[in-house]
Amino acid sequence: MIEVATFAAGCFWGVEEVFLDLPGVEATRVGYCGGHSYNPTYKDVCGSDTGHAEAVEVTFDTDKISYADLLDVFWKCHDPTQVNRQGPDFGEQYRSAIFYHTESQYEAARASVADLENRHLFRRPIATQIVPTAQFWEAEAYHQKYHQKNGGGCGF
């Protein structure tokens, strides 16, 4: 079965990169989610007044990769204890968030957080928001598959 998952974990270029080639991931696209303005641009989102997060939408085949597997990748690709920042990037658009699409995704995300907290893997509390998916606005074409087109990487 094909499902969609949406994650925000800092700069969407690097986040897309970690999901892109996972077996079972059918497609990715980067964009903006969780804000209050209509069809924002990168410039709008970076201005910190739209409320959007840079996010990655992941289309995946549940027969080949589970949502729990995607959550594991999500937790490993960023620091979920930071509020509104990742590394040198700061602002609300770089927040950590899971935008769930179904009740089962919500339950899996909550269970995943509880497991991480019970294992004390982080020195600080997890700050990741777990919120219902909102309108996903696809980012400009030059942002899509950015590292594939331009080289580089985020060191994950």
CA of 53: how far to CAs of 1, 23, 90, 115, 122, in Å?
27, 26, 11, 25, 23
With beta carbons less than 8 A apart as the criterion, state whether 58 and 98 touch.
no
Q: How many CB atoms lie within 10 A of CB 48?
A: 13
Q: Is 154 a catalytic residue?
A: no
The DSSP line for 38-100 is SS--HHHHHTT-S--EEEEEEEEETTTS-HHHHHHHHHHTS-TT-SSEETTEESGGG-EEEEE
Q: Which residues are catalytic?
A: 11
